[in-house]
Amino acid sequence: MFNKILIANRGEIAVRIVRACHELGVRAVVAYSEADRYSLAVRTADEAVCIGPAPSPRSYLNQSALISAARITGCDAIHPGYGFLSENAYFAEICAQYGITFIGPSPEAIRLMGDKIEGRTTMRAAGVPIVPGSEGELKSLDEAVELAVGIGYPVLLKPAGGGGGRGMRVANDEAELVRYYATAKSEAEAAFGNGALLLEKYLPKVRHVEIQVLADQYGNAIHLGERDCSSQRRHQKIIEESPSPAVSPELRARMGEAALKGVRAINYVNAGTMEFLLDPEGNFYFIEMNTRIQVEHPVTELVTGLDLVRWQLRIASGEHLTIQQADVELRGHAIECRVNAEDPERDFMPSVGEIQYYLPPGGPGVRVDSHLYNGYTVPGNYDSLLAKMLVWAPTREEAIVRMKRALGETVIHGIKTTIPFQMGLLDDEVFQHGFMHTRYVGEMMPKWLETRKK
Ligand code: ADP
């Protein structure tokens, strides 16, 4: 096992990694920006190093500052968390050059899966079903139009280097495709430094179902079942759960096997997620692989009883995966609400400022992953995730009741949060019956806003 790890991240995930380090007897060093001087991660770490000013290009994305911080403090590994440099193949390479273990897969695997076009091609060759669409990068508008005629509208224009649900455009007919093509390309270039687009059939009533995988350096790989992340607003996840109400044991086995085919095809090592869209007929299609720990990993931890972050460390340090597929058992039901610093009544406008009073929920079956404390000031420089409220219960029905109880207990004074909206979702009939698809949140939004006016 490592001696000391540098955590190249912030917020709740930095705290989460500190906790895993401490449970494994590893010293945790937190790299922080000037805006995060008083963060919970800094307080709980064994050591902390300032790596630069608040804007992330000058701190959390500053590779030389991070490598220097690791060397000065004598760290033998770096955990990148999610976001920032977690899917940066070049950073993984630099770590290796300095003899520091990057806690994640190889630079080759990151590079391959970081590009949605390469990802599609690789997965198709491995026998994993993909969404019908373009073979490679779209070369021209004419090619896009021709392809769209073949696969049928609506179609989706997707940035090959995209992430976080940004930059995608749905075209319902040829006129829209013509209208969106050039803008989508220039937006992709501006946002991701890569103007390459791909075209996919837009599947209207699908669920987002993803498979968690773990693989060691010796060719052993298992899957840990699925997470249903269909509760999304503008392609961004807001509630996740495991298991999915739409996945039978038989379908789980098939999706799991497809995910593992993908893992083997790229010699993937460490924790990763294969994302799929699942249609009402039970057909599933690969959309992308995330080569890192994900925000919603704890729902899998709650139903499997496994600690994914600890496994990331153990795998990266060269340990064997000691769990067999047959040992993986999903017990009960887990739900996560991502509590963001946003005002749902004002189009989810970011809300920043001091947390005057914070009282997290507790009691049976509740887990909170958060970096909040009384008096903490939420900086405006980073993403808006404040806390992940998680519950576990024997059944989905009980988990929903428990989540409502937990959110009802939560007190966050000083800024606006998404909790009132999530309360509304938990009461929504579609959610309660488990009939979610990726657009239902958008569809119920006007109704919810009406109830707030009363
Ligand atoms: P990103 O990397 O930006 O998160 P993804 O490819 O993972 O992009 O897709 C994000 C979300 O967009 C999915 O969860 C789903 O809701 C929607 N989506 C992506 N591809 C399709 C598609 N072909 N048809 C319908 N919805 C899609």
Ordered DSSP codes for 255-270: HHHHHHHHHHHTT--E
Please work out whether the CB of residue 442 comes within 6 Å of at least one atom of ligand 1.
no
pLDDT at 269: 98
Say how many Å lie between the CA of residue 286 and the centre of ligand 1.
Answer: 10
Same-domain check for residues 168 and 255: no
Give the model's confidence band at 430: pLDDT under 50 very low, under 70 low, under 90 confident, else very high: very high
Q: Does 454 have pLDDT greater than 80?
A: no
| Residue 31 in domain | yes
107's CB contacts (< 8 A; 6+ apart) are: 89, 90, 92, 93, 96
pLDDT given for residue 254 in this prediction: 98
Contact yes or no for 220/320 (Cβ under 8 A): yes
Contacts within 8 Å (CB) and 24+ apart, 404-410: 405/361, 405/363, 406/361, 406/363, 406/366, 407/337, 407/361, 408/361, 409/359, 409/361, 409/362, 409/363, 410/339, 410/359, 410/360, 410/361
Q: Residue with structure tokens 């919970």?
A: 40
Confidence of residue 120 (pLDDT cuts 50, 70, 90): very high
pLDDT digits (tens, 9 = 90+) for 375-428: 999 999 999 999 999 999 999 999 999 999 999 999 999 999 999 999 999 999
Min mean pLDDT across 37-41, 192-196, 280-284 is at: 192-196
CA 21/CA 202 separation, integer angstroms: 42
**CATH number of 373's domain:** 3.30.470.20
> Does residue 294 have a pLDDT over 90?
yes
Residue 165 alpha carbon to ligand 1 centre in Å: 7
Per-residue pLDDT tens over the stretch 313-369: 999 999 999 999 999 999 999 999 999 999 999 999 999 999 999 999 999 999 999
Q: What are phi and psi of 74, to 5 degrees?
A: 70, 35
Kindly state whether residues 175 and 247 are assigned to the same domain: no
Query: What is the structure's pLDDT at 164?
Result: 78
Give the pLDDT of residue 163. 82
pLDDT higher than threshold 90 for residue 453? no
- The catalytic position among 292, 314, 338, 402 is 292
Tell me if 405 CB under 6 Å of ligand 1: no
Regarding whether 218 and 190 lie in a shared domain, the answer is no
Ligand 1 contacts CB of residue 366 (under 6 A)? no
Give the domain CATH number at 73.
Answer: 3.40.50.20
Rounded to the nearest 5°, which phi and psi values hold at 336?
A: -125, 135
Q: Last residue of a domain, which of 147, 176, 201?
A: 201
| d(C-alpha 201, C-alpha 2), whole Å | 45
Question: Widest CA span of the chain, in angstroms?
Answer: 61
Which range (75-79, 192-196, 422-426) has the least confidence? 192-196
* Mean pLDDT score, 223-249: 97
* 353/221 same-domain check: yes
> What integer best gives the mean pLDDT of the chain?
97
Q: Is residue 113 part of a domain?
A: no
- Kindly tell me if the per-residue pLDDT of 73 is higher than 80: yes
Evaluate whether residue 218 is within a structural domain: yes
Catalytic, 292? Answer: yes
- Domain that includes residue 165, residue range: 132-201
